[in-house]
A = this chain, B = another copy of it.
Amino acid sequence: MILELRHLRSLQAIQQCGSLARAAEQLHLTQSALSHQIKTLENYYDTPLFLRSTKPLSLTPAGLKLLDLAHHVLPEVERVDGQLHRHAQGSTGRLYIAIECHACFEWLIPVLDRYRQHWPEVEIDIRLGLSFEPITALQRGEVDLVISSDRRPHKSLCFEPLFDYEARLVLTHDHPLAGKAYVLPQDLADQTLVTYPVERKRLDVFSRFLQPANVEPARTRQAELTAIILLLVSTLKGVAVLPDWVLRETMSQHRLTTRPLGEEGMHGTLYATVRETERTADYIQGFIKGAKNRLNADT
Contact = CB atoms under 8 A, between A and B. Distances in A.
B62 A84 contact: yes
A46 interface: yes
Interface string A68-110: 1100110011101101110110000110000000000000000
A156 B54 CA distance: 11
Interface stretch (A1-9, A163-171, A188-196, A250-258): A1-9
A284 to B, nearest CB: 11
Contacts of A144: 61
A59 interface: yes
Interface in A249-299: 275, 277-278
Q: Tell me the number of copies of this protein.
A: 2
Given A54-B139, A61-B141, A77-B3, A85 B277 contact: no
A236 interface: no
Interface residues of A, number: 47
B88 A46 contact: yes
A65 interface: yes
Contacts of A141: 50-51, 54, 58-61, 64
Contact of A69 (B48, B61, B77, B87): B77
A41 to B, nearest CB: 9
A63 B278 CA distance: 13
11 contacts: A1-B81, A3-B81, A48-B277, A51-B139, A54-B139, A59-B141, A62-B88, A62-B93, A65-B83, A65-B84, A72-B76
Instruction: Please name the 7 residue pairs, one residue from A and one from B, whose CB atoms are nearest each other, closest first.
Output: A61-B94, A46-B88, A58-B141, A47-B88, A69-B80, A45-B84, A4-B4
Given A54-B140, A64-B141, A73-B76, 20 more contacts: A4-B5, A4-B6, A5-B5, A45-B84, A45-B88, A46-B88, A47-B87, A47-B277, A51-B139, A51-B140, A51-B141, A58-B142, A60-B141, A60-B277, A61-B94, A62-B84, A62-B93, A64-B94, A66-B84, A68-B80
